[in-house]
Amino acid sequence: MATLRIATWNINSVRLRRPLLAELVAALDPDVLCLQETKCPDELFPLEEIRAQGFPHIAHRGMKGYNGVAVLSRIPFEIRHDDPNWCSKGDCRHLGVALDVPGGPIELHDFYVPAGGDTPDREVNPKFAHKLDFVAEATAWTRSRGPARRSVLVGDLNIAPCEHDVWSHKQMFGVVSHTPVEVEALTGWQAAGEWHDALRHFVPSDQKLYTWWSYRAKDWEASDRGRRLDHVWVSGDLAGTLSRHQVLKPARNWPQASDHVPVMVELAL
DNA sequence: ATGGTGGGGAACCCA
């Protein structure tokens, strides 16, 4: 294979938005698509419909009502079964696979980091504490494995680390997703694996870059108060293969849109 | 300071 296209999307209910996957495939043509917030118990996952949309290889880890991740693939893979049970909660926020590609397997990790609630104070807000604990655990795990090699990490990390990953660095300073403690935690995680930020590889750090716009805006496009919550990281040895990227902003205007848009990165292997 | 809009699934939980 000449290229490997990996996409990630917080689909916010795989059953409700499963028809939109055809739009995504038409626009991005991904070899592998990682989903978050599938909100679907495993026994109800729409396996056959998604296979029919061109993804014969599917892994899903879901639960009733909340969370849930899935990997949809044209390429065979093996599910990793020995990854941590994050914060001992068993709450379906991570799925790791080994993609069977020429040149040896590529590890792919699909993460859905806790959103963290409204108050950025771990003493009064257990959701914020969970978010920080989750990232701390992931960082320790990453560090224990050494610098990432032939690996890609994607997902809704629910943190916008850079100044221009939010519409206003000043006004977002105290808002969960862009507080200094979260930014420090995320950049520490990234550093622990020597990961490369694939989207910022393509988009200069002085340019705005968003993947999420709130449902609560009267006109999301006019106000454009977005955040970059969705990420693609690649290991150092793959950074030189980064050949293309796409943030599918038009998806925010699809009927019954998710509040996140799909993001795609292409590797020239 | 507040509430704004969604999804899940049947009262509030979560984002």
Tens-level pLDDT at each residue, chain A (269 residues): 589 999 999 999 999 999 999 999 999 999 999 999 999 999 999 999 999 999 999 999 999 999 999 999 999 999 999 999 999 999 999 999 999 999 999 999 999 999 999 999 999 999 999 999 999 999 999 999 999 999 999 999 999 999 999 999 999 999 999 999 999 999 999 999 999 999 999 999 999 999 999 999 999 999 999 999 999 999 999 999 999 999 999 999 999 999 999 999 999 99
Q: Quick one: CA dihedral A189, A104, A47, A257, positive or negative?
A: positive
Q: Find the Å distance, CA of residue A5 to C1' of nucleotide B8.
A: 31
The rounded Cα A120 to chain-centroid distance in angstroms is: 22
Provide the 3-class DSSP secondary structure of residue A190.
helix
User: Stated in angstroms, how far is A210 CA from B11 C1'?
Assistant: 34
Residue nearest to nucleotide B6 (CA to C1'): A215
* Cα–Cα dist A145/A68, whole Å: 25
Q: Is A7 helix (H, G, I), strand (E, B) or coil?
A: strand
**Rounded to an integer, what distance in angstroms lies between the CA atom of residue A184 and that of residue A232?**
18
Cβ pair A49, A40 in contact under 8 A:
no
